[in-house]
Amino acid sequence: MSEDRTMKLVTNLDRAQIEAKLAELHAAAKAKGLADLAQLFFGVEGMPRVQIEQRVHNAQRWLAGRSEHGEIAALLDLVEINLKNLK
């Protein structure tokens, strides 16, 4: 039996909440032994929006076709739709 999870779509995260999600991404990637991916989200606190956007998009490209990391990809998608809120 598969465990399909539904993620609540939230589009109004502020900078602090986005940075918290990026910290979750860092921890999740590190826990799965994905050091290269985890490194993308280390030290992003206070980073300019354009740099965070670049890291998120690089991570999405890195995860493309790697369905075994679906939870990380879903969290990354949540962050991506909220990037417009970074100020």
Calculated CA dihedral for residues 74, 70, 4, 81, nearest 10 degrees: 10
The span from the CA of 45 to the CA of 21, in Å, is: 11
Q: What are the tens digits of pLDDT across the range 51-80?
A: 999 999 999 999 998 888 989 999 999 999
Q: What is the pLDDT of residue 61?
A: 94
**Its pTM surpasses 0.95:** no
* SS3 state at 52: helix
Structure token digits, residue 7: 């993620």
Q: What are the tens digits of pLDDT across the range 6-59?
A: 667 789 999 999 999 999 999 999 999 999 999 999 999 999 999 999 999 999
